[in-house]
Amino acid sequence: MSSFRRFLMVAVALAAAACGGSTPPAEAPAPSGIDPATAAMVTGRVRFDGPAPEREILRIDGDRNCVTLNGSSEQPGESILLGENNTLQNVFVYVKDGLGRQSFPVPSAPVVIDQQKCRYVPRVVGIRVGQPLEIRNGDPLLHNVRSASEINQPFNQGQPVQGMKFSHTFTTREVMMPIKCDVHAWMNAYVGALEHPYFAVTAEAGTFQLPDLPPGTYTIEAWHERLGVQTQQVTVGPRETKDVVFTFAR
């Protein structure tokens, strides 16, 4: 072996040692490939126990434009919405833990919240970390959109013109983040940002589905803006569907 080659080999060894070459690399997240042949699902319902609470009435006469859009200065509130048989709407249901280090592709299409007749539509949404949230002003008047996030970077954005929109991307998990309008105090929305796709928001029927889950044991959490949170642990085997029921009360 020539002296030059010996020198080169020694130099490479020293460089590797200096760069920590003997230290193993950090463990990468597991791949996201979910085998459709073994994928499981959690389904369920959310209901309210007890007499249905009287629906609150919101006074919106602080802005005559909102009154004109709605045709009245008093509007029904949306904090507790019940369907037939006391099913509960606008409950955010998601896998709180159990997925380990799996990673999942992030959608590029935005999740959209619109401002319609001085309300946020929809009121409760889920979004992926890294996915755009697009907030639109569908009203011919001024709105000011402010997030009250505690972990993610908050934002405060004025939208004085109908048709305006802006985008924001959350960088870490946070459940839930309130969205408010500084101009109209009754306007509220809530956003849950997660690093995985296993979440749902109940509609009028109070039902939800969390499909395409890898077999395993999970903590499922149900969140409601007024009634708090509940959790259940669920184990699903290959191609198995488990049904759970969450019951809230005041």
24-49, pLDDT tens digit by residue?
Answer: 444 444 345 688 999 999 999 999 99
3-state secondary structure of 179: strand
Same structural domain for residues 77 and 151?
no
Confirm whether 125 is domain-assigned.
Answer: yes
Same structural domain for residues 146 and 175?
yes
Same structural domain for residues 184 and 137?
yes
pLDDT value of residue 120: 98
Q: What is the total count of domains within the chain? A: 2
Same structural domain for residues 128 and 246?
no
Mean per-residue pLDDT of the chain: 89
Last residue of a domain, one of 180, 195, 210: 195
Confirm whether 1 is domain-assigned.
Answer: no
Beta strand ranges found along the chain (DSSP E): 40-48, 57-59, 74-76, 92-97, 111-116, 119-121, 124-128, 132-137, 143-147, 156-159, 165-169, 174-181, 188-194, 199-201, 207-213, 216-224, 228-236, 241-248
**Domain range enclosing 134:** 105-195
Last residue of a domain, one of 168, 195, 222: 195
If one counts every other C-beta atom within 10 angstroms of the C-beta of residue 218, the result is 23
**Contact between residue 153 and residue 194 where contact means Cβ atoms under 8 Å apart:** no
3-state secondary structure of 135: strand
- For the cut 70, the answer to whether the pLDDT of residue 12 exceeds it is no
Same structural domain for residues 170 and 227?
no
Same structural domain for residues 55 and 177?
no
DSSP category for residue 202: -
Q: What is the mean pLDDT of residues 191-197?
A: 97
Q: How far, rounded to the nearest angstrom, does the alpha carbon of residue 65 sit from its chain's CA centroid?
A: 31
Same structural domain for residues 58 and 131?
no
**Contact between residue 121 and residue 114 where contact means Cβ atoms under 8 Å apart:** yes
pLDDT value of residue 97: 96
- pTM score: 0.85
CATH number at residue 71: 2.60.40.10
Confirm whether 33 is domain-assigned.
Answer: no
Q: For the chain, percent helix, then strand, then coil, each to nearest 5? A: 10, 45, 45
Same structural domain for residues 116 and 79?
no
CATH number at residue 116: 2.60.40.420
Same structural domain for residues 243 and 221?
yes
Same structural domain for residues 223 and 247?
yes
Torsion 66-68-74-78 (CA) sign:
negative
Choice among 3-12, 50-59, 118-127 with the minimum mean pLDDT: 3-12
Choice among 32-41, 175-184, 241-250 with the minimum mean pLDDT: 32-41
- For the cut 80, the answer to whether the pLDDT of residue 175 exceeds it is yes
Q: Which residues pair with 199 in a beta bridge?
A: 94
Q: What is the mean pLDDT of residues 186-215?
A: 97
Same structural domain for residues 91 and 145?
no
Same structural domain for residues 57 and 89?
yes
Q: Which residues make Cβ contacts (< 8 Å) with residue 55, sequence separation at least 6? A: 76, 77, 80
Q: What is the mean pLDDT of residues 174-194?
A: 97
pLDDT value of residue 11: 42
Confirm whether 81 is domain-assigned.
Answer: yes
